[in-house]
Amino acid sequence: MPVLPPRHVPGIPAGSSSPAASHAPLAAPASAAAPSLQADQLAIGWKQGREERILASDIRFSVYPGHLVALIGPNGAGKSTLLRTIAGLLPPLAGSLDILGTPLHTLDAAERATMIACVFNERFDAGYFTVEEIVAFGRYPYTSARLRMSDEDRSQIRKALELTGMAGFGGRRYASLSDGEKQKVQLARAVAQQTPILLLDEPTAFLDAPSRIEIFHLAGQLAQTEQKSIILCTHEIDLALKHADELWIFDQTHRFSAGSPYVISRSGLIGKAFDTATVHFDALSGSFRARQ
Amino acid sequence: METARPDTRIMLVGVLVVLTLLLAVLDLASGSVRIPFGEVVRALLGTASQQEWGVIISIFRLPKLATAMLAGAGLAAAGLMLQSLFRNPLAGPDSLGIGAGASIGVALLMFAGNILGLQKAAGTAGSALLGGLQPLGYVALVLAASLGSFAVLLMILLLARKFEQVVTVLIMGLLVGYLASSVVSLLIYFGSPQKAQVYLAWTYGSFGGVRAGELPFLGGAVLLGCALGAYDRKALNAFLLGERFAATIGIRVRTARTRLLIAAALLAGSVTAFCGPIAFLGIAAPQAARRLARSSEHGVLLPVSMLLGMIFALSADILSSLPGKGAVLPINPLLALIGSPVILSMFLRGAREDFEGGA
């Protein structure tokens, strides 16, 4: 059993009275493990032609192997943009973003695919693809153009299906599965990709309550047993507080903060990000309440 | 519902290959001059009992057979690539405006030829389509169609670089298609009735216009296009799940997309140039292939689509010479006439299976 970095680290650096004012890297575990992902003064947004539109800037974080990070924030605050920047689909507009010590933007698509696996919540018409064929997409970065699957590829596919509880579904048609099962197959595909980093974009968006909990539980398990760094963007704040090792939050002004769920939930940051005229976040119970 | 296992897929390919070969022999036997089956085989071996049968087969029917097979396979492959690339089952060589580009090239040659001092060439091109071939006119026709589709392809590639969304490229292709057909309509409106007749003859489609000397060009273009598609089958599979998805599993999206567009244009452009605008095959063959193979894997879909394309093309060619006595029915209406009901019945049966099997 490898030595894990401490799972809950104090989030607020000494001397900082207002948590909202602090967006320094908060989680710096005293461990020998090197961070798998590290950002410093990162700015994210879009590039249209020569015009840059920066959505959020001064983002700092470090993600360590075995950690599940939940990324929360209101719609449009920057969650998806950050996730897509880490996925390499959008260029970093300023600052640095290193994966395993290498600047992310210097990697090409094929190299990136062996380091970062993504599950987007896009729905698609899977046609006649079987579950096995969908999971086999995870092996694409490792196979030749002729798509010959080696024994290693096949055993990774089997292992991924077992890890996600989908063993025995291999021959089923993907389109015939329930939404929860589809999400688990997508997770299996990402696991088969054998990357140190896993990005999940609202993996519970279309799921019923039991499946939502199952996916969070599965993500936590994968982080621990497979020593992956998992970044999961979600609207399920209660589940995120319960399952995540670390919380990242964007507020309505696109300000980024990171810290342990305990610290973040008591810091008032969640309320600052989400509260409306009629709903507020109750830090003690860790859930939203209607204002009386 | 279980999907077909690999061995049943191999069996399907085997059955289709046998069917293609049978139709090929039948195609050689059918025509305005009836030649018995045995004699067809003997003519191929160079031992026909009547010398003219040997001549008919080697000069006319073998090139026609090869053209039909190349056109069928090429259009089917192009259609499959475009449908997967655009994630749209209605995409085909026509929806990229490639066929329209070829039509514009041919129409310009025929109607505006006198302005460019090409009237003579255009005139012979017309007669080429109606029977007596003149080398220069025919070359001009093929050149015009190729240039037309290549011009449209260049436009689309430039647009594809500018726009991230692949659907935008599809819409642009459709608009270019409308633009092209309106230009063609105007040319027909102001052109002479004889020229309109000649142009119309080209749009009916024919496998009979390619001679042995020109086959290597068509064959080379089709082979290259299909090889590019087969090389990119990883990308084709991944594109079905979206371009963003493809990018995250290591596919170089823009490079693969550009390569596939070039391959599709090469296939559709060359076949349209040689055989006329045969749109139906490109849309129908991949549809039928998916239904028959019950697969979305392009390692399976590409060969099955190409075989079905050949089968459709050969069937249409055989039927076109059925009236006998030198009368030949046009390919284009025939293809849709026999193809549409086949595809429709496949869809109806597929829908019932999906419904009952809960797939």
- Alpha helices, DSSP H, located in chain A: 79-86, 109-113, 131-136, 151-163, 179-192, 209-226, 237-243, 261-267, 269-274
Is the model more confident about B87 or about A111?
A111
pLDDT(A264) > 80: yes
Range of lowest pLDDT (A73-77, B35-39, B93-97, B241-245) = B93-97
- Gap between the Cα atoms of A34 and A16, Å rounded: 26
Token reading at B102:
């070829």
Q: What residue spans define the domains of chain A?
A: 28-115+196-292, 123-194
Count of C-beta atoms within a 10 Å radius of residue B83: 25
Order of all β-strands in the sheet with A102-103: A51-63, A37-48, A94-99, A102-103
Question: In the prediction, which pLDDT does B209 show?
Answer: 78
Number of Cβ within a 10 Å radius of residue A171: 12
Q: Please tell me the predicted confidence (pLDDT) of residue A1.
A: 44
- Going by pLDDT thresholds of 50, 70 and 90, the confidence category of residue B303 is very high
pLDDT at B181 (0 to 100): 81
- Per-residue pLDDT for B325 more than 60? yes
Mean pLDDT of the residues in chain A: 85
Residue B194 is which amino acid? Answer: Q
Question: Which pLDDT belongs to residue A3?
Answer: 45
Which residue in chain B has the smallest CA separation from A147?
A: B234
Q: What is the pLDDT of residue B165?
A: 67
| B135 and B212 Cβ atoms separated by less than 8 Å | no
Distance CA B16, CA B14 (A): 5
User: Cβ separation of B296 and A193 shorter than 8 Å?
Assistant: no
Find residues 164-183 of chain A whose CB sits inside 8 Å of chain B.
171-173, 175-176
Size of interface A-B (CB pairs under 8 A): 91
Instruction: Give the C-alpha separation, B62 to B75, whole Å.
Output: 20
CA distances (Å), A289 to each of A195, A244, A263, A284, in order?
39, 22, 20, 11
pLDDT one-digit tens code per residue, A203-255: 998 888 888 999 999 999 999 999 999 999 999 988 999 999 999 999 889 99
Q: What is the pLDDT of residue B166?
A: 67
Q: Check whether B52 has a pLDDT greater than 90.
A: no
Residue B134 structure tokens: 């003149």
ipTM: 0.82
Poorest-pLDDT segment among A20-29, B148-157, B239-248, B279-288: A20-29
Separation of alpha carbons B73 and B307, rounded Å: 6
Beta sheet of A229-233, edge-to-edge order: A116-119, A197-201, A229-233, A68-72, A246-250, A256-259
Mutation pick from A107, A137, A191 vs chain B, by most beta carbons of B within 10 Å, is A137
The pLDDT assigned to B351 comes to 59
The amino acid at B32: S
Cβ-based burial of B178 (10 A; exposed 0-12, middle 13-18, buried ≥19): exposed
CA separation for the pair B285, B126 (Å, rounded) = 30
Asked if A232 and A244 touch (Cβ cutoff 8 Å), the reply is yes
Question: Bridge-partner residues for A62, per DSSP?
Answer: A38
Whether the Cβ atoms of residue A229 and residue A36 lie closer than 8 Å to each other: yes
Cβ–Cβ < 8 Å for A279, A291: yes
Three-class DSSP category at A217? helix
What pLDDT, on a 0 to 100 scale, did the predictor assign at position B47? 78
Mean pLDDT of B239-253: 91
Query: Which chain A residue lies closest to B87 (C-alpha atoms)?
Result: A125
pLDDT, mean of residues B283-293: 90
pLDDT tens figures, B166-191? 677 778 778 878 888 888 888 888 77
Q: Helices A151-163 and A179-192: crossing angle, nearest 10°?
A: 140
> One-letter amino acid identity for B11?
M
Mean per-residue pLDDT for B320-337? 79
Beta bridge partners of A258: A248
Does residue A7 or residue A154 have the better pLDDT? A154
Asked if residues B276 and B332 have their Cβ atoms less than 8 Å apart, the reply is yes
User: What pLDDT shows up at residue B311?
Assistant: 95
pLDDT in tens, A173-211: 999 999 889 999 999 999 999 999 999 999 998 888 888
CA proximity to B262, closest of B152, B175, B164: B152
Chain B: closest CA distance from residue A129 (Å): 5
Pairing of strands A287-290, A279-282: antiparallel
Choose among A129, A133, A175: nearest Cβ to B359. Answer: A175
DSSP characters over A264-292: HHHHTHHHHHH--SSEEEETTTTEEEE--
Q: What is the CATH number of domain A28-115+196-292?
A: 3.40.50.300
- For the record, the structure tokens of B38 come out as 């045995």
Give B55-77 pLDDT, tens digit per residue: 888 888 899 999 999 999 999 99
- pLDDT, residue B6, reads 66
Instruction: Give the tokens for residue A100.
Output: 């395993």
What tokens were used for B294? 């019950």
**B-chain residues within 8 Å CB-CB of A127?**
240, 290, 296
Given a cut of 60, whether residue A67 has pLDDT beyond it is: yes
Tell me whether A283 touches chain B (CB under 8 Å).
no
pLDDT at B194 > cutoff 60? yes
**DSSP H or E segment with residue A95:** strand A94-99
Predicted confidence at residue A133, as pLDDT, reads 94
Q: Band of the pLDDT at B202, cuts 50, 70, 90?
A: confident
Confidence of residue B300 (pLDDT cuts 50, 70, 90): very high
A46 and chain B in contact, CB less than 8 A:
no
SS (H, E, C) chain B: CCCCCHHHHHHHHHHHHHHHHHHHHHHHHCCCCCCCHHHHHHHHCCCCCCHHHHHHHHHHHHHHHHHHHHHHHHHHHHHHHHHHHCCCCCCCHHHHCHHHHHHHHHHHHHHCCCCCCCHHHHHHHHHHHHCCCCHHHHHHHHHHHHHHHHHHHHHHHHHHHHCCCHHHHHHHHHHHHHHHHHHHHHHHHHCCHHHHHHHHHHHHCCCCCCCCCCHHHHHHHHHHHHHHHHHCHHHHHHHCCCHHHHHHCCCCHHHHHHHHHHHHHHHHHHHHHHHCCCCHHHHHHHHHHHHHHCCCCHHHHHHHHHHHHHHHHHHHHHHHCCCCCCCCCCHHHHHHHHHHHHHHHHHHHHHHHHHHHCC
A219 to chain B, closest Cα gap in Å: 19
Return the residue of B nearest to A171 by Cα: B2
Those residues whose C-beta lies under 8 Å from the C-beta of residue A76, and which sit 6 or more positions away, are: none
Task: Looking at the complex, report in whole angstroms how far the Cα of residue A241 sits from the nearest Cα belonging to chain B.
Answer: 28
From B272, B265, B278, select the one nearest B334 (Cα to Cα). Answer: B278
Give the three-state DSSP class for A66: coil
pLDDT higher than 70, residue B337: yes
Read off the pLDDT of residues A137-149 as tens digits, 9 standing for 90 and up.
999 999 887 778 8
What is the rounded CA–CA span in Å between residue A263 and residue A9? 9
| Chain B residue numbers touching A109 (CB-CB < 8 A) | 247, 250-253
Q: Does B278 have pLDDT greater than 60?
A: yes
> How many Å is the Cα radius of gyration of chain B?
21
CB atoms within 10 A of CB A53: 10
Q: Which residue has the higher pLDDT, B223 or A10?
A: B223
Whole-angstrom distance, CA of residue B331 vs CA of residue A47: 50
